[in-house]
Structure 1
Amino acid sequence: MSFIRSPAVPIESINPKVKNCEYAIRGEVFNYALRLQEELEKNPGSHPFDEIIYCNLGNPQALNQQPITFFRQVLALCEYPALLDSEETPKLFSSDAISRARQIRAMLSGKSTGAYSHSKGTKGLREMIAAGIALRDGYPANAEDIFLTDGVSSAVHMIMQLLIRSERDGILCPIPQYPLYSASIALHGGKLVPYELNEASGWGLEVFELKKRIDMAREDGKCVRALVVINPGNPTGQVLSESNQQEIVELCRKEGLVLLADEVYQENVYVKNKKFISFKRIARSLDYKEDEVALVSFQSISKGYYGECGKRGGYMELCGFSEDVKDQLYKVASVDLCSNTSGQILASLIMNPPQPGEESHELFLAEKEAILSSLARRAKALEDAFNSMEGVLCQKVEGAMYLFPRIKLPEKAIEAAKKVNMAPDTFYALKLLDDTGLVLVPGSGFGQAPNTWHVRTTILPEEHKIPAIVSRLKAFHESFMREFRD
């Protein structure tokens, strides 16, 4: 006699918070792209394209962006300290990379990257980051307010654990938003309170919209704890003005909200009339008492011009938090012992790159400028391409690494998507992938205004490939619109 065994862990038995968690960037379209890539590898020529181009994720080095020489030299010397004693090393490494590596190794527990660090991160590295923050903002920073983390994702989860007590606790998030926030809020059992960015004004953040959403959530019995602001914007690419930031800080002060400032794209600003200003600098310039505004600012080694995604480094700086609350967050950090030391080192380097007069400074500036200027050209080329396509409107890309064009899909396409139980923008993205090998993310994965459809693409493919990508996009879109035109 045979028996049909039930699964040891049936899907009905798992934590419903996990089932409610979604992360579209590596969702349906991405998983289909992986299957297509396997088919191409097994059977070249089996599709109308010869490679999959992953425009779904801000992952620069996966698309052949080269690492910054100084950063990798310092890291190599820290990881393999025997190099520091080799007679050949001065021929291969710059003098300032060697001296920086010696300085960092002396800070590490056991002088080794293989040892656990303090749970907040190595103190000397936090001091280097604090010095970099102070230089950037013109206001002092304290190493004890900085937590080094395994990328910003880890930091966001820690803050959500701290703030969310029950499903009554709400976190204000922009729509469109980076799905890390909706996913982490779901995992920790809170409530996402959406506020819509104004696409017509270049994805503007309107404070009256924030106030309206706060009041509505409170009337619905929610306790609104925090406000997420992504500046420069992901997926929307806008850069906030100083006056707008001042309004946001003042709102948080009046409403008693923690301001969660996602500033990981602070180096990615592409237009001359815009500049990045940290929310910490804004808050300090308003002359509030330090505890009047609770602020958490996030920075990552994954973005900017460095693009060290795989090293999983980042930090958060806490301002306006009491010592007893910071002690509780330290306890949460201690559960994971510490973040990885390679990421910690790189976080210290991006906030303290080579300085004028040091051997690596000239090469560092050249590499940085080459990457950022190329990103600006790629952003403009893709923006122009989308705006030349029928029924597509793409707002100006001021910063970050993405475009979020709006596509007016024909009614026949929307009906075709419904027949296969699919969101129309997912339907569009999957057909685009099938025809061109380009991996874009449907706008529904980020949130969008009702009855509007978008896709998000990165600006990261190599610059020499952009013309071919534009040609594929235009040809596909023209064919799609012709097929489904009313």
Structure 2
Amino acid sequence: MTENGVVCQRGKVLTADTMNPNVKKVEYAVRGPIVQRAVQIENELKEGVKKPFSEVIRANIGDAHAMGQRPITFFRQVVALCSYSKLLEDDTFPEDAKNRARRILQACNGGSIGAYSASQGIECVRQDVARYIERRDGGITCNPDNIYLCTGASDGIVTILKLLVSGEGRTRTGVMIPIPQYPLYSAALAELGAIQVSYYLDEERCWALDVSELRRALVAAQQHCSPRTLCVINPGNPTGQVQSRQCIEDVIRFAAEEHLFLMADEVYQDNVYAEDCQFHSFKKVLFEMGPEYSNIVELVSFHSTSKCYMGECGFRGGYMEVINMDPEVKAQLTKMVSVRLCPPVPGQALLDLVVNPPQRDEPSYSTFIEERAANLRDLAMKARLAQEAFNRIPGITCNPVQGAMYCFPRISLPERAVAEAKEMGQAPDMFYCMKLLEETGICLVPGSGFGQMDGTYHFRMTILPPTDKLKIVLDKVKEFHQSFTQHYS
């Protein structure tokens, strides 16, 4: 812009002052300041900067393949065949993989996974998801029209929250989430301007969910918002607990009594390690409780290709099943997903393989079963290794890792360290984790990023690194914690 031939300066249209204020409230600890510093340190190491370690070990995120978990052969074969159909002429691929690829391609527009699909997802994939849920839940009927494929479970969760949030002031939607929680929830609620209603898991009882705590949180929240939604993560992230069937029944009764919309995040349903634990889906328990509950409780459950034995995070595949959703709201949900055209079609193809893997009479079956069992066995072993190692360190305690992919140890911090952290404007466990990163190259996430009881400090560590590297991580954490405690004591 010029005036009398002179260029006039003007400010940006979009600034920190003019942008959406809710976005500035969003925090996501899993890829927060610790990880940003880890990236800087990795670059410094490449540039030859001397450190007391030779590599950064990222134990901050549940990215299985980045940590060395091997892909399932059948899944990758079929996706490769779908991506490049000329490989269907290659005799090195087993016939069942070719047949599966042909079926998926026939369901795609133009016979290509590069084409858009229906917004709700490819019909045959949704049918396979429905049959999978029926097998998992002992024959309880699943309608494919209630299945929505999504870009990982995260996309589905945020979509449902968008439907739920409304009102102003004391009528603003309150969403009950567990503390500790997966930061997707707090981040999405901040972005949507919803009210976070925290209920605390009981660390003394292996992160159990107690209905009396749900009621306390609900009653307190009713003074300033309208709690309408209850979110449960099972198996738990970051806490690794597996809720009992009785607990799930209690939660469903509570949701029915208090007229709450129920969201069940079940993406770790195959990751159960403790011998006395078993995964129970919310849907199965709901329907086994009888029509007085199954006819009225509004439930959405989520699953993903990103975790379990698959670990295919990058494909961004997932689904949600809606139960008892108002037909007019369901129409609005369908409209919302249509605005985004469709989920990634390669992710839909992969999801189809997860819910419909090789069968006993097919050539890929034995390899699939062996690889699946090996991945889950390896994770179970590393879960035990981590919890036992942490419990041998004075000043650290760790509940049993019953499921999922993380442990969430509690750390005792000297008062001097807490005081110094506060002087620096940092949460004490952020202070601890940052020093751990700088001195050892181990990247963990402070418990404050997930929420925790006041006066307690934790960190989340994934159990995904290869066993030899995991042992190095555990040894370094032990040495660091001892020296940190001695220094600040």
**TM exceeds 0.5?**
yes
Q: Does 1:25 align with 2:68?
A: no
Q: SS in structure 1 opposite 2:117?
A: coil
What's 1:108 paired with?
108
Q: For 2:55 and 2:18, how far apart are their aligned partners in 1?
A: 40
1:394 to 2:395 alignment: no
**Separation in structure 1 between the aligned mates of residue 471 and residue 238 of structure 2, nearest angstrom:** 22
Following superposition, which runs of at least 4 residues in structure 1 exceed 4 angstroms of deviation? Answer: 1-5
The secondary structure found in structure 1 opposite 2:174 is strand
The answer to whether 1:415 aligns with 2:419 is yes
Match of 2:3 in 1: none
Shift of 1:144: 0.5
Listed as ranges, the gaps of 5+ residues in structure 2 are 1-5
Separation of aligned partners in 2, 1:20 and 1:388: 38
Using structure 1 for the length normalisation, give the TM-score: 0.96
In structure 1, list runs of 5 or more residues that go unmatched. none
CA contact (8 A) 1:166 1:190 kept: no
1:96 aligns with 2:99: no
Q: 1: CA distance between counterparts of 2:356 and 2:258?
A: 35
Cα offset, 1:377, TM superposition: 1.1
- The SS at the match of 1:13 is coil
> CA offsets per residue over residues 333-375 of structure 1, 9 Å max, x none?
0110100001111111111111112111111111111111111
| Residues 1:251 and 2:254 aligned together | yes
Matched, 1:265 2:281: no
2:17 counterpart SS class: helix
- The letter for the 2-side match of 1:28 is P
How many residues are aligned here? 479
Give the corresponding residue for 2:361: 357
Q: Secondary structure at the match of 1:195?
A: strand
Report the Cα offset of residue 435 of structure 1. 1.1
Residue identity in the other structure for 1:166: G
User: Which residue in 2 is equivalent to 1:36?
Assistant: 41
5 Å-filtered alignment, 1:162-201, equals 162-167=163-168, 168-201=172-205
RMSD of aligned C-alpha atoms? 1.3
SS of residue matched to 1:129: helix
The reply to whether residue 152 of structure 1 matches residue 156 of structure 2 is: no
On the 8 A contact 1:105/1:111 being kept in 2, the answer is yes
Cα distance in structure 2, aligned partners of 1:258 and 1:208: 18
- The alpha-carbon deviation at position 2 of structure 1 amounts to 9.7
The one-letter code sitting in structure 2 at the alignment partner of 1:186 is A
- Measured in 2, the distance between the counterparts of 1:3 and 1:144 equals 58
- Work out the CA distance in 1 between the residues paired with 2:339 and 2:40: 37
Q: What one-letter code is carried by the residue in structure 2 that aligns with 1:94?
A: P
- Corresponding residue for residue 142 of structure 1: 143
Q: Hey, what's the Cα distance between the residues in 2 that align with 1:476 and 1:112?
A: 53
How many angstroms apart in 1 are the aligned matches of 2:167 and 2:409?
36
Instruction: Answer yes or no: is 1:278 the counterpart of 2:281.
Output: yes
Deviation, structure 1 residue 184: 0.7
Q: 1:432 aligns with which of 436, 453, 456?
A: 436
Task: Output the TM-score relative to the length of structure 2.
Answer: 0.96
Contact map agreement 1:198 1:204 (CA 8 A) in 2: yes
Q: In the alignment, what sits opposite 2:235?
A: 232
* Secondary structure at the counterpart of residue 225 of structure 1: strand
Map Cα deviations across residues 258-278 of structure 1 (whole Å, 9 max, x no partner).
110000000000011111110
Letter in 1 for 2:405: M
- 1:206 matched residue in structure 2: 210
TM-superposed deviation, 1:3: 7.7
Match of 1:133 in 2: 133
Identical pairs, percent: 45
Distance (Å, rounded) in 1 between the aligned partners of 2:435 and 2:224: 42
Residues 91-119 of structure 1: CA distance to partner in whole angstroms, max 9, x if unpaired? x2122111111111111122110111111
1:12 is paired with a residue whose SS is coil
